[in-house]
Amino acid sequence: MPGSMDKPSTEKEKWVHFKLNTPPELAEALANYLTEMGAQGVFEEFLQTGVSDVPEPEPQDERVLNAYFPSRTEDEKRISDVRSYIANLAELFPNLKKPTFATELIIDPQWGEVWKRFFKPLRISKNIIVKPSWERYSATGRETVIEIDPGMAFGTGQHPSTSMCLEAMEEILLKDRTFQKWRVLDVGTGTGILGISAAKLGASSVMCVDIDDQAVEIAHKNVAVNHVGDRVVIVNSDVARIKGTFELIVANLTAETLIKIKSHLVKMMEKGGYLVISGIIEKNRQDVEKAFTRDDLISYKVIADKEWACYVYKKPAKA
């Protein structure tokens, strides 16, 4: 994701903050639309409950989305576009409460404080906890704590596409004894959360690949914070240039990108190894299933969460 919340600037930065109130059924659609418009971060306030032993809160009737855009000359057009999109949603779903939004101009924001409001410790699965550096959390039992400071890169574990990848990885790396040493490839690493998790779950070596310079910089910092630099390498490259084979490949991308690089991903799978693909919305599932239905792949598992799906494929041990 372009931009940086960490980069110092000699000029005061100006950002537009969109705050939207929406029924839960429309939250995903709005978040996706805001991201496609160029939002440098979209956060759901209802997710920030932290980690505790108390039961999960009951589903809320309304969710609050916060989106941040660099302030430019087209601010008014962006506001108009959001208003039009909400009007279209209201026509498509007349039985749901119409979303509302407000905007404010933020000058020279203190991004560190912004992140502290929206990113709290979060339990992703039975054993994986993701937390920012400014929050304390004491692991118990077999819990694995991943410390992530996202900056402007994608991946804090809050989004279903990321959490489903972590769930799949946890099951594979902790339960499958096929390989003594797991070599893992994380394609489109973002913050490095999946690669770091793989290392903490026992992988012997992890390669994290991303074409975005800012994501690579942030991933390097997170690898250092989690003390896994001896097993994790970050590569600023297109995955098509990566050679070799891996026992586990994880790719949290768009359906279009996954289909485009499918042949190369399958080629890099070690015999008996796994491929975890995520970032797939409901309307694209059929296209992905068609593309990845091959004689040299076994459909191992499908995980679904809301409108998102994660597929786990396995390459036969014998050709």
> Based on the domain organization, do 154 and 230 belong to the same domain?
yes
Based on the domain organization, do 67 and 203 belong to the same domain?
no
246 and 268 Cβ atoms separated by less than 8 Å: yes
191 and 143 in a common domain: yes
Same domain, 103 and 157: no
Q: What is the arithmetic mean of pLDDT over 234-243? A: 94
Last residue of a domain, one of 54, 88, 118: 118
Which whole number is the average pLDDT over 137-163? 76
| pLDDT above 70 (res 98) | yes
Least Cα distance to 207 among 174, 176, 223, 183 occurs for 183
**Domain final residue pick, 118, 148, 174:** 118
Among candidate residues 118, 137, 159, the one where a domain is terminated: 118
Assess whether 153 and 222 both reside in one domain: yes
CB within 8 A of 17, min separation 6: which ones?
66, 67, 68, 103, 104, 105, 106
- Higher-pLDDT residue of 134 and 293 is 293
The 8-class DSSP code of residue 136 comes to -
319 domain residue, yes or no: no
Report the relative pairing of strands 298-305 and 308-314 from DSSP bridges: antiparallel
308: left (phi over 0), alpha (psi -120 to 50) or beta: beta
pLDDT of residue 116: 63
Identify the pLDDT of residue 311: 97
Q: Is residue 51 part of a domain?
A: yes
User: Strand 298-305 relative to strand 232-236: parallel, antiparallel, unpaired?
Assistant: unpaired
Is 3 contained in some domain? no
Co-location of 213 and 303 in the same domain: yes
Does residue 50 sit in the same domain as residue 36? yes
Is there a domain that residue 206 lies in? yes
For the chain, the maximum distance between any two Cα atoms, rounded to a whole number of angstroms, is 60
CATH code where residue 87 lies: 3.30.70.260
pLDDT for residue 157 is more than 70: no
pLDDT of residue 150: 61
- Mean pLDDT for 299-310 is 90
* Each residue's pLDDT tens digit, 193-220: 999 999 999 999 999 999 988 889 889 9
Is 9 inside a domain boundary? no
Q: Check residue 193 and give its pLDDT.
A: 92
Residues 156 and 113 in one domain: no
Angle at 172 between CA 167 and CA 176, to 5 degrees: 150
**Is 168 in the same domain as 217?**
yes
Say if 240 falls within a structural domain.
yes
Q: Does residue 2 form part of some domain?
A: no
In a domain, 5, yes or no: no
If asked whether residues 90 and 150 sit together in one domain, one would say: no
Residue 150: give the domain boundaries. 122-314
Total of domains in the chain: 2
CATH number of the domain residue 217 falls in:
3.40.50.150
Residue 114 forms beta bridges with which residues?
none
One domain for residues 204 and 166: yes
Of the chain, the percentage scoring pLDDT greater than 70 comes to 84
Are residue 69 and residue 172 in the same domain, yes or no?
no
Over 70: is that where the pLDDT of 60 sits?
no
